């Protein structure tokens, strides 16, 4: 078999392997995240020791009552806010630093 034919049939296999390895890594990984806000003399605990993994390609819903930390968690994932403690990883990159 000529080299050109070998490359053309091997390329789709290589792409599928790359997709499989990427899918194994979560697109979002939140590990032991805590977020505290100060309101005068009061400390508000918006998130306490939150852990979450979102696999690549998954859809999810954050559901909870008002004040449960949904927006705070999304702000962490989007890089709009930093945790008081813990780590937020997006596509394998630590965005908390």
pLDDT of 27 over the 70 cut: yes
In a domain, 12, yes or no: no
Task: Give tens-digit pLDDT for 47-77.
Answer: 999 999 999 999 999 999 999 999 999 999 9
Question: Does the model's pTM come out above 0.85?
Answer: no
User: 96: burial class by Cβ within 10 Å (0-12, 13-18, 19+)?
Assistant: middle
Rounded distance, CA 4 to CA 1, Å? 8
Task: Give tens-digit pLDDT for 28-54.
Answer: 999 999 999 999 999 999 999 999 999
What pLDDT is attached to residue 97? Answer: 80
Which CATH number belongs to the domain containing residue 39 in this structure? 3.40.50.300
In a domain, 87, yes or no: yes
> Domain range spanning residue 71?
25-94
């Amino acid at each position: 078999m000529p080299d050109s034919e070998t490359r053309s049939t091997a390329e789709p296999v290589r792409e599928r392997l790359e997709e499989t390895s990427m899918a194994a890594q979560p697109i979002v990984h939140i590990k032991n995240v805590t977020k505290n806000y100060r309101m005068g003399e009061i400390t508000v605990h918006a998130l306490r020791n939150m852990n979450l993994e979102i696999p690549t390609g998954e859809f999810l819903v954050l559901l909870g009552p008002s004040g449960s930390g949904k927006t705070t968690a999304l702000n962490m994932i989007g890089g709009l806010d930093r945790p008081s403690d813990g780590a937020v990883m997006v596509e394998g990159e630590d965005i908390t630093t």
